[in-house]
Amino acid sequence: MDNTLSHEQHAQIQAHIQAHQHVPGGLMPLLHAIQDDIGYVPEVVYPEIAKALALSVAEVHGVVSFYHHFRTHPIGKHVLQICRAESCQSMGSAKLEAELKAKLGVDYHQTTADGNVTLLPVYCLGNCGCSPAVMLDDEVYGRMSADKVTALISEVCHG
């Protein structure tokens, strides 16, 4: 996948850096803002972030890499997160995981061949009363089966 930034993306990142430069503890909100817009936190902008926030590049790298949520490379158009926590396990999430991996032809942290879906594990979506749960982009779905998830994916991919 293309990892170079467009001028527009770079301008967006610049604007976010300026907006967060003087916010106390501003690095986390800044990283969120960048990832929300660009889809990931490009490593090429670490030096600019570091300079603006008076940090070392190593510190910026340290923070990005500590948190599961942040990623440094582009991903698929949609993100599917399958809950792996205990409540979902009690309702058969291990089977759901295996079936979805087989159906999508990917393992965790991989993207489908058509570039549509990136599969991620997640540890609890707070929907433990309706296990097993998945999250597709920003929406949570409960009492899922592989067929139901596949139907949801084709709905978001093909409208």
What SS3 state is found at 139? strand
Q: Which is nearer to other proteins, 114 or 155 (CB)?
A: 155
Distance CA 23, CA 17 (A): 10
Sign of the torsion formed by the C-alpha atoms of 86, 142, 120 and 108:
positive
Residue (114 or 137) nearer to other proteins, CB: 137
The residue ranges that bind other proteins (CB under 8 A) are 24-29, 31-32, 53, 59, 62-63, 66-70, 85-91, 122-131, 133, 135, 138-143
Q: What's the min distance (Å) between Cβ of 90 and other proteins?
A: 4
Tell me how crowded residue 10 is: count the other CB atoms within 10 A of its CB.
Answer: 16
Going by C-alpha positions, the residue among 137, 132, 130 that lies closest to residue 94 is 132
Closest CB to other proteins among 5 and 28?
28
Least distance (Å) between residue 7 CB and other proteins: 28
Query: Smallest distance from the beta carbon of 32 to other proteins, in angstroms?
Result: 5
Least distance between other proteins and beta carbon 114 (Å)? 25
Residue 154, CA distances (Å) to 13, 32, 111, 116, 133 in order:
32, 28, 15, 10, 18
